[in-house]
Structure 1
């Protein structure tokens, strides 16, 4: 894919005018002007509400398939600009996708859940939680077609409790952990959305997720194998803050709601979560930066979904 060589990630967090000049993104700030070659860009995050952008630049970014993310007033990612340049045989791909049997979808979901739990076990093992990692590996073997017994949820309960402490809950939106996780997941989800759009697959037609109001059900299926890459990055950020080993009590934020806490995330946190796209991932027998691994995995997933080919496993390096 043409955008596979892009490597630069840019966060624009202050007032700026963005325009196009000679195939470069021009960022004009208060007293500075920066130019970035568009072909080198992988991701641009528009964080400041005081950013203006020209239509010519948006068109050029779309043509080069650059990922453009927007943020709300709390700096949380709330949108992705998806290029309208997809697969050359979209209609045929769509017909084949809709015709896929329920049994085939159930089998693929089983493999995705197994892959996710395997990567969760890898994260725990790298942190020294050997007993819990072994338990996750055992749970992985019990996953049935369509994950009928919901092993995914049971594994997640053990995984997050081990990783972030007994008191941790993904529903506790005031926790620093969840602010970081949500931001990191949004970055990876955006990459998945872009790759799925470019593959020609219907983004709304999931193999497990089926919310009628969600146009990215399939993307939310595929992202599951990549979530542990974000978890590992977040754990590293928490450790770098110099706190003690009980990550469930990083600080007392009981008086803050989730939106106000998002505003306390540092630029370094956000940049680290975006740069996590350059961390290594193994797709089958090949090693790629995470952003490229997503591209390759989506293509292999497409072949498995439509043509019955073997779905590769994504592993953490």
Structure 2
């Protein structure tokens, strides 16, 4: 099972040899590819061999590239996720709208439920009750936008009444960075299963290449919120970014087992896709906190 997040911080050359990622910098280090879930290239001066890129793609390892400010700007996505991707894409295009609306309602309900649970943990019982009430009001496709109403109450409870998600502050930078990590993990799993990330069940922005990933990741955003609430960053630089990667190392409960977040995303993603294809929302396997 892949579980490691490998971060390349300094100028180096990355190569492949006998199943290992070989990092040639001031020192030469090796990491077994089968252990790697995510390879984060933080330094634009890093070079990679073609044979390594091919091996990373074959192993379905998520590779994320950063700019000079160490912010993620691109990722490696294979052209073909699995052997029957053409059939998967045809079925994805034909997904029924009523089924998509039902699945989205359940995903939004679970997201708000997790937000309410977190608020209750930190002593915001009144706001938690408000969010619990919203879960009972969610309609198909969340036509009354309970998600948006819950988000305002939720973030104001976490970070203060003056807080807005549009403010240029360290907390928002940390949230955005963490969400991009989670999004990349979903991109990997959706592509690996042969589906298109562009075709969502609710999100349908023509400029968003990851509409389906944006849909599925919603209940996992709370993992990011928890860590940022604990950190309360006043600045967001390299040290804080590395701290955010702790999210992928933690364990959650899913399908009756304790799993690393990366594997929980894999299990959950498959369950949602199965639920849509079978028209049965009860197949969705949501995670729980340990």
TM-score bracket for this pair, using the shorter chain length? over 0.9
Question: Does structure 2 retain, via aligned residues, the 8 Å contact 1:122–1:316?
Answer: no
Match 2:238 to one of 250, 258, 266: 266
Gaps of 5+ in 2: none
**Distance in 2 of aligned mates of 1:202 and 1:265:** 33
**Distance in 1 of aligned mates of 2:196 and 2:62:** 19
Alignment: residue pair count:
288
> What secondary structure, in the 3-state scheme, does the structure 2 residue paired with 1:43 have?
strand
**Distance in 2 of aligned mates of 1:185 and 1:40:** 23
Match 1:231 to one of 209, 216, 225: 225
Note if 1:210 corresponds to 2:183. no
- TM-score, scaled to structure 1: 0.86
Match 2:266 to one of 282, 288, 295: 295
The aligned residue for residue 315 of structure 1 is 288
Question: Does structure 2 retain, via aligned residues, the 8 Å contact 1:110–1:147?
Answer: yes
The aligned residue for residue 193 of structure 1 is 187
Question: Does structure 1 retain, via aligned residues, the 8 Å contact 2:200–2:212?
Answer: yes
The aligned residue for residue 257 of structure 2 is 286
Question: Does structure 1 retain, via aligned residues, the 8 Å contact 2:267–2:285?
Answer: no
1:116-265 map, 5 Å: 116-172=111-167, 174-238=168-232, 250=234, 264-265=236-237
The aligned residue for residue 40 of structure 1 is 35
**Distance in 2 of aligned mates of 1:127 and 1:280:** 20
**Distance in 1 of aligned mates of 2:145 and 2:219:** 16
Which whole-Å deviations, capped at 9, do the CAs of 1:97-152 have from their partners, x for residues lacking one? 22222111111111110011011112212222222212211111111101010000
Gaps of 5+ in 1: 242-249, 251-260
- TM-score, scaled to structure 2: 0.94
